[in-house]
Amino acid sequence: MKLDMYEFCTTELQQKLSPMRTKFKEQEEKKMAQKAKLIAEGKLLGPKLAGAAAIAKKDENVEYEPFQFEDDVGSNNSGYYELAAVLTHKGRSSSSGHYVGWVALKNGEWAKLDDDKVTLVTEDQILKLSGGGDWHVAYILLYAPQRLEKMREEEEEEEETPPTAEETLMFQWRLLTQQTLLLLRPINNDIIVTSFHLS
């Protein structure tokens, strides 16, 4: 659900995008190395549970690197975007049918906003919004700049300890109760629809 606009940019803009893109690559390599180490040591609980419990252990106040150039408000300093929301139409013609909104939440979950009915769905269901028969067809896609978490010094120095089975179970219980009590609320106040420069 990522969009990389780098190849559509001018050479001059590509050079300006390179430093932040390098930071993204370095962070991804660190994450992959940590995961490989945990797998080798037999400490990985399984992708879903380990990831979910690790998220539970993280500080809620995550800080991000700036996503725009200082001298260009509304720009994107990496060229990376991620899908933030989708508007779909379900019906046989544009004059009849029904419109539904789909909004990205955290951790790969999405909210389906069908009038006053809000339900949680997975990324897999978003990927199926391609129409066919009477199924939803994506009508408008809204992308936001991909955000890069700031690496805290203690995170870089300390080894990440895998969550215990008890922490994992407690997280799963909290997640289940939160999903059960989900109410419509502002989803992600920092989603910003930005433009990028092709010239």
CA 22 → CA 68, 139, 145, 196, distances in Å?
15, 33, 16, 19
Q: What is the CATH number of domain 2-180?
A: 3.90.70.10
pLDDT tens digits along 8-39: 999 999 999 999 999 999 999 988 888 888 88
Share of the chain above pLDDT 70, in %: 68
pLDDT band for position 184 (cuts 50, 70, 90): very low
What is the rounded CA–CA span in Å between residue 124 and residue 11?
35
Strand boundaries in the chain, DSSP class E: 2-4, 80-90, 98-104, 109-114, 117-122, 137-145
| Other CB atoms within 10 A of residue 197 CB | 14
- The answer to whether the beta carbons of residues 77 and 66 sit under 8 Å apart is yes
Secondary structure of residue 117 in the 3-state scheme: strand
The pTM (predicted TM-score) of the whole model is 0.63
Pairing of strands 80-90, 2-4: antiparallel
pLDDT tens digits along 46-74: 555 455 445 544 545 778 898 999 898 88
pLDDT tens digits along 136-160: 888 899 999 999 988 765 444 455 5
